[in-house]
Amino acid sequence: MCEETKKGPSLPQIRMKRPNLDGLPPWPDLAPGYDLRSAREEDASILADLMAVAFNDNGWTPQRVLEQLLGNPACQKTFVIVKGHHAVATATLLLEPEQHPGSGILHWVAANPSHHGKKLGLAVSLAVLHAAKELGCKYSLLLTDDWRLPAIKTYLRLGYEPDCWHESHKARWQEILKKIG
């Protein structure tokens, strides 16, 4: 689950924890023309396009989406928001019961920046949290990068808290919280 950050290869991503899944916010209403649903194998191509744009990473191919998301047995559910024939946001529920028993991990949250301000990341994240609760998960974890400030703001609004499990995290969290106010 641990991935490298833009800070350097020796620093792990920051982690956030939502200590329980009680009192989840209701699902937000999506703007007209946007639909939230479970992703299907035939969505691999549009999800690859979304991931490439959202993460500025041209290494996303339909095959990679199938391997890491839609065909990965640890990924219990992937949600997608579509507008027309395009994926504009996605998030995956990952379970790692051996490493994180009782946790539903919010994984690979992505939103197309050209649809900013529509609360799409919030909607797909909430879909994952509700699915985790339905599966009996007790809490949620996520990993993210220091530079993903809009996403971190959304996670904080969803009840996630900084989880300083690495020696670098306290100072990094102080810097992040200073930047987002």
Evaluate if residue 8 carries a pLDDT over 80: no
Q: The domain that contains 89 carries what CATH number? A: 3.40.630.30
15-58 residue pLDDT tens = 999 999 999 988 788 999 999 999 999 999 999 999 999 999 99
Who's near 8: CB < 8 A, 6+ residues apart?
A: none
Evaluate if residue 174 carries a pLDDT over 70: yes
**Residues spanned by the domain of 74:** 4-17+26-180
- Phi/psi at 150 (nearest 5 deg)? -60, -40
- Phi/psi at 148 (nearest 5 deg)? -85, 60
Residue bearing the bigger pLDDT, 181 or 84: 84
Ramachandran region, residue 160 (left: φ > 0; alpha: ψ -120 to 50; beta: rest): beta
Mean per-residue pLDDT, 75-99 = 97
Mean per-residue pLDDT, 139-165 = 95
**Closest by CA position to 13, among listed 179, 161, 146, 108:** 146
Compute the CA torsion angle 104, 110, 116, 118 (nearest 10 deg): -40
Structural domain total, the chain: 1
Evaluate if residue 2 carries a pLDDT over 70: no
Model's pTM, two decimal places? Answer: 0.91
What local confidence, expressed as pLDDT, does residue 26 receive?
Answer: 85
